[in-house]
Amino acid sequence: MSESTVLVLGSDPPPKLDRLAGRARVIFADETSLAGLLPTADVLLAWDFTSDAIREAWPEKGPRPAWVHTASAGVDRLLCPALIADDTLVTNARGVFEQPIAEYVAGLVIAMAKDFYGSWELQRQRRWQHRETLRVAGSRAVVVGSGPIGRAIGTTLLALGVKVDLVGRRARPEDPEFGLVHPSEALNGLLPQADWVVCAAPLTEATRGLFGKEAFALMPPRARFINIGRGPLVVEDDLVAALRGWRIAAAALDVFEQEPLTADSPLWDVPHLIVSPHMSGDTLGWRDALAEQFQDNFDQWSAGRPLRNLVDKRLGYVPVG
């Protein structure tokens, strides 16, 4: 294959693409220049995976990249009708974020169960106040999303002795790790028994607003809710009402409807809510891992071999298997 043109959306900080030297011409675009450069590119790397620019600039006709890779697990920020309909291949960063996110969720579960926040606050006040806390082993978690991230979360919680109900789009009996993957229509029947509800689902039209007033009403008062998926999976006003009304015990959000949160967002002051700035998968060296993954897939593409992590654009994620 002759030298290809790789267009990179975002350059802060720039990806380390040393292995493409002599094999590809690498050019960079920002949100204002992207539309004009798309027709010149063979490959598009969505390095800035928080941008909606690809969805807004994707051409409905004429030249366009043959392959788009996003440096994120989710593809909702780039998919649009024109991109879904054409022959462009889309891949994602499956394999980079799963275990870090699973560790983050496990940390939240332990911190909530053992009331670490309360200990820190009492220490700040120099108060000695003995309390009893919860056992993690023997509790039950409902993990919504049976892709690699949801499965990593589930297996990590299993290692802590948590009973895990994994929920996917459709039922998968005789699962080697979980016994059964429940179908999405079983979710409402599982929520009343949950001590922990973890949202790791992809954002699609079917899952948007999945956790709203009705879902929170089904959870028992002891339930703790965690979202590391996508912000629009949760109706934030309904979550706030559930927390302020003590209808659930606590929650943690790492993703939000609008990011970053503004300084005047009411979410900062909601009782029993932990807010973190979309960082659950970002461990030291994560950008280098993303760049290596893209270059490995570029080797596949250059050699005419099948791309790894190929997204089903109509489903909005990489199908299991």
pLDDT band with cut points at 50, 70 and 90 for residue 154: very high
Instruction: Note whether residue 69 is domain-resident.
Output: yes
Q: Is residue 124 annotated as part of the catalytic site, yes or no?
A: no
Q: What stretches of 209-264 adopt beta strand conformation (E)? A: 224-227, 250-253
Judge if 102 and 115 occupy the same domain.
Answer: yes
Examine residue 320 and state whether it is found in any structural domain, yes or no. no
82 found inside a domain: yes
Instruction: Give me the domain span that covers residue 154.
Output: 97-275
Point out the catalytic residue in the list 19, 247, 272, 278: 278
Going by C-alpha positions, the residue among 82, 44, 61 that lies closest to residue 313 is 82
Does 44 map to a domain? yes
Q: Which residues pair with 149 in a beta bridge?
A: none
Q: What order of strands is seen across the sheet that includes strand 250-253? A: 172-175, 179-182, 163-167, 140-144, 196-199, 224-227, 250-253, 273-275
Whether residue 164 is found in the same domain as residue 263: yes
Give strand pairing partners of 199: 144, 227
- Catalytic site includes residue 98: no
Which of 69, 151, 230, 236 is catalytic? The answer is 230
Q: What is the pLDDT of residues 156-191, one digit of tens each?
A: 999 999 999 999 999 999 999 999 999 999 999 999
| CB environment 119-137: b (16+ within 10 A), e (fewer) | eeeeeeeeeeeeeeebebe
Token pair of 183 as six digits: 């179908």
Q: Is the pLDDT of residue 270 over 80?
A: yes
Whole-number pLDDT of residue 321: 57
The CA-atom distances, in angstroms, between 239 and each of 196, 225, 232, 243 are: 15, 9, 12, 6
Query: What percent of the chain stands above pLDDT 90?
Result: 98
In which band, very low, low, confident or very high, does the pLDDT at 2 lie, cut at 50, 70 and 90?
Answer: confident
Whether 209 and 295 share a structural domain: no
Whether 278 is a known active-site residue: answer yes
319: in domain:
no
- The pLDDT assigned to 320 comes to 74
Residue 26 is inside which H or E element, if any?
strand 24-29
If asked whether residues 91 and 102 sit together in one domain, one would say no
First to last CA, the chain: 29
Answer yes or no: do 113 and 84 share one domain.
no
Same domain, 126 and 139: yes
Is residue 203 within 8 A of residue 74, CB to CB? The reply is yes
**231: domain CATH number?**
3.40.50.720
Same domain, 127 and 214: yes
pTM: 0.94
Q: Report the domain count for the chain.
A: 2
β-pairing, 163-167 with 140-144? parallel
Q: Which helix (H) or strand (E) holds 5?
A: strand 4-9
| Pair of tokens at residue 86 | 């054409």
Tokens 């005789």, residue located: 174
The total number of residues shown for the chain amounts to 321
Catalytic residue (one of 121, 177, 214, 259): 259
pLDDT digits (tens, 9 = 90+) for 271-294: 999 999 999 999 999 999 999 999
To which H or E segment does residue 157 belong?
helix 148-159
User: Do 293 and 221 fall into the same domain?
Assistant: no
Model confidence over 186-208: pLDDT tens digits? 999 999 999 999 999 999 999 99
Closest residue by Cα to residue 294 from 14, 34, 57:
14
Residue 118 and residue 88 share a domain: no
